[in-house]
Structure 1
Amino acid sequence: MRLVFAGTPDAAVPSLRALHASAHEVHAVVTRQDAPLGRKKVLTPSPVARAADELGLPVLKANRLDEEATERIGALWPELGVIVAYGGLIREPLLSTPTHGWINLHFSVLPRWRGAAPVQRAIMAGDPVLGASVFQLVAGLDEGPVFATLERPALPAETAGDALTDLAGRGAALLADVVDAIAAGTARSTQQRGESNYAAKLGIDDARIDWTRSAQEVSQRVRGVTPEPGAFTTIDEERFKILAIGGAHDTVTLAPGAIESRDGAVLVGTGTVALELALVQPAGKRPMEAAAWWRGHAASETVVAR
């Protein structure tokens, strides 16, 4: 089939590579426009744009799939549109432009999490299972019938970044199988059933740690917002990033946010038991092990994170 692929972040790259390596033809890649990154705000192509250039595929950069983008895509006479984390909505008439419409690889076992941040929200909620779904795109948000899903257990220490990398690879193979089935006329889909939750895009408020929550909830929050937007708290009114957190110390109870060193481990209090800090980044400094920060902080008494 003649395909049009839409995607933007690293998580979409395995799917693009899988489709490029298949028997189908990717006639165009749609991705968001170059974005300013880093302290110097250098305009940088998206990961999908870089991969498409490497593969020699034509790229259409657009933050909105407007009338002009619709005309350019329609001129390719695509048989199927494929979208993976593009970062924008596909509306009519573009939704119906390809012969078989559009399919979406979404990183949730639908309908559990619909929206922009399903993996992050699943980890923050403590879901025991993570997964991905390939479904037919419809006007409603992630509401279309599902062709295929995969599931696997959520791992105790994995971050959202870890899980998304894994699911992006597994999902690419699932997506390629569905495209093959659509081409062969054997694809079958089923309507979604069950409770759904809205996985809103993460903001800075999601990244601030509330130490009055239980140790389990704090751990889930830190892992769910890692690497982006990145967990943080404040110490002495300065932002203090928490890049990695260790396990709970069930025999140690500290006041919420109180940080102390016990037997070489740097512990922080929560609403239940203490958690171990593993990797941190004080304001204006590089990431470092929590023990190294504690020694450099020269703390002889409890430090309080707020």
Structure 2
Amino acid sequence: MTAFPGGTSVSRLAVYDDGGTPHLHTVSTEAYVVTGGTGTLLTLDTNGLRETPLAAGSTIWFTPGTIHRAVNLDDLRVLVIMSNAGLPEAGDAVMTFPTGIVADPERYRAAAHLSGDPDQAVRRRRDLALEGFEQLVAAAEAGDPKPLREFHEAAVALVRPLVAGWRDLWQSTVEAATRRTAAILDALETGDGRHLAASAVLGSPPSDPPRWGMCGRLGAHDVHHPAVLSAVSSGSVSSGSVSSGSVSSGSVSSGSVSSGPVSYGPVSSGSVGFGSVGSGSAGPVVTEGHQ
């Protein structure tokens, strides 16, 4: 298994001076670990609006359905960790455009698309999402849950056509990591530790230049296709414990690294990117964790 630990992804976020675009995730939980500066996290859910101060050392996470917006007060910088690596950039994020736009896939795609000068395009997209967000907040403060419920329903309808593809991705990453842990536990229970001889050191450089995300400029990392910095070679363990190809520092052949009953799966080097910012489809809209 070569993916980032726990089926998560990681990116470094420099929040826009005038704040980010409010949105929610339909499947994934997101975490902020603040590394510098100060700011505020605005969140809206069925419990109402909340403002959470952010400063170096703050560690906050929020579950699917939590509308959130990062506000930069002074050079706010955040390490963002997302569950379900790959799903956020596949369309898991839905921005809080007015519900009529979110309810219409074509209008949503047009509103989400970034064209022309990226700085101005990001601002236009954010301002439209803020319009919808302010409507949701006003309704919540007036004790009216209907607009938020309708937004949730529109968000679900928007992403529903993508779910089959998401499931395939999740099964090949997050679920696969869980199955591998189960296999290791089974092996250890019998006293079999051969997987320890197939260890590796992996790495992924940040995207360069940083991407234009919903909440700021992002240094994203391709956690699905890391470079292999060091790994077991075919001759360094006993016969039978490493199969299907050889591994060398920095590059890996197309096979898989395995040790006894526990397979590490395909190992590849290099990077395949993180989806396109402002894609014409409702799917790969870049979010904090992968934007």
TM surpasses 0.5: no
Q: Give the structure with higher Rg (CA).
A: 1
TM-score norm. by structure 2 comes to 0.28
TM-score norm. by structure 1 comes to 0.27
